[in-house]
Amino acid sequence: MRIFSGLQPTGRKHLGNYIGAIVQYVEGQQRAADAGDVAIYCVVDLHAMTVPWVPGEMRERVYDTASILLAAGLDPDRCIFIRQSDVPEHTELAWHLGAVTAHGDLNRMHQFKEKSAKQRDLVSSDLFTYPVLMAADVLAYRADEVPVGDDQRQHVELMRDVAQRFNERFGDVLVVPELKIPEVGARIMDLQDPTSKMSTSSASLEGTVHVLDDAQAVEKKFKRAVTDSEDPPRIVRDKSKPGVSNLLDILAAARRTTVEEATASLAGARGYGDLKVATADAVNALLAPVRERYVELRADEDALEDIFAAGAEKARAITRPVLADVREAMGVGPRPRG
């Protein structure tokens, strides 16, 4: 079982990213290894160029993101950790996949509609073909499993269609990957608006806990978290209580236990204040070591470049033969000899 996922180098990673995605990536390394295979994680700098970016900051954001992932426990010796632009087979395969991607399907992508509506001067063709490059990211490795957030569902469905169409037309060359949506992270909500997901683009900075927030900032955000005015206060997970439910979900995830156990641990609580303090403490216990390691890792950019260079080499040992098969199946390039 081979895993592939990609992460944007933009935006600061928040608690929803951490609990929903990053923790699953770290676990995926072992799951893939146990199955005699490997997990590939990719910082997608080329995708970050589909909307306006600052050239002088791109590399910095890649280092930031890489340092967070490594601090959280991605181990470049146990997985393949790459920067997208270091592995040219991604872009090469994207071109070939374009041949079996319907323009009409790309036109129906929700994310393209949303992002193109926000552009002021240019809607680039890279933004339009974003899902084709994403398909290439995964298909270049013949990956079986793609762990992503629910917002990426349509992109993964498209990549499955593209792989199927390729195989029907050119023979069984590519693997049709499965979508895997992490359950917990899909549920981490904004602390100020617990009916919408915690997100990078949220209106309230107050409601978003960042991985690199210091302990005091984390405490403050949880102290101000929206709960409800039920009297007497009830600490239970219930549809009618989105704020309290969210805190219980976060508490359980941060302590790596169940919501039932987290709820039981608060049986003697006097009110929501106790729940907030317990949750802030658990989140700080979870993130403090990550923040410490982050500072060390981020300080050594040469070391990060060495990690990327080694990752690209391991990656290309997989992608080069896949691209050779793709070219051969499509009848492109030199006649194979020997």
**Dihedral sign, Cα of residue 132, residue 134, residue 135, residue 136:** positive
* E-only strand ranges, the chain: 3-7, 39-43, 80-83, 145-147, 178-180
Chain positions 75 to 104 lying near ligand TRP, rule: CB under 6 A, are none
Residue from the set 3, 62, 138, 225 that interacts with ligand TRP by CB under 6 A: 138
Output the CA–CA distances (angstroms, integers) from residue 140 to 86, 144, 204, 291, 327, in the order listed.
14, 11, 39, 33, 12
Residue from the set 134, 247, 280, 323 that interacts with ligand TRP by CB under 6 A: 134
Judge whether 112 and 127 are in contact, CB under 8 Å. Answer: yes
Residues in contact with ligand TRP, counted by CB under 6 A, come to a total of: 13
Pairwise CA distance, residues 32 & 78, whole Å: 10
Site string for ligand TRP, 199-238 (x = CB under 6 A): ----------------------------------------
Longest dimension (CA), the chain: 80
- Return the C-alpha torsion angle 99, 104, 109, 113, nearest 10: 120
Least CB distance to ligand TRP at residue 105 (A): 16
Pairwise CA distance, residues 174 & 177, whole Å: 9
Least CB distance to ligand TRP at residue 43 (A): 9
**Dihedral sign, Cα of residue 100, residue 106, residue 24, residue 45:** positive
Pairwise CA distance, residues 169 & 167, whole Å: 5
Smaller CB separation from ligand TRP, 155 or 197: 155
Residue from the set 2, 13, 14, 47 that interacts with ligand TRP by CB under 6 A: 47
Judge whether 178 and 144 are in contact, CB under 8 Å. Answer: yes
Smaller CB separation from ligand TRP, 52 or 289: 52
Smaller CB separation from ligand TRP, 156 or 252: 156
> Within its chain, how far is the Cα of 175 from the centroid?
21
Chain positions 8 to 27 lying near ligand TRP, rule: CB under 6 A, are 8
Smaller CB separation from ligand TRP, 144 or 219: 144
Least CB distance to ligand TRP at residue 109 (A): 11
Q: Is 4 in the site for ligand TRP (CB under 6 A)?
A: yes
Smaller CB separation from ligand TRP, 73 or 149: 149
Q: Is 44 in the site for ligand TRP (CB under 6 A)?
A: yes
Least CB distance to ligand TRP at residue 246 (A): 22
Q: Is 152 in the site for ligand TRP (CB under 6 A)?
A: yes
Q: Which residues bind ligand TRP (CB under 6 A)?
A: 4-6, 8, 44, 47, 134, 137-138, 146, 148, 152, 155
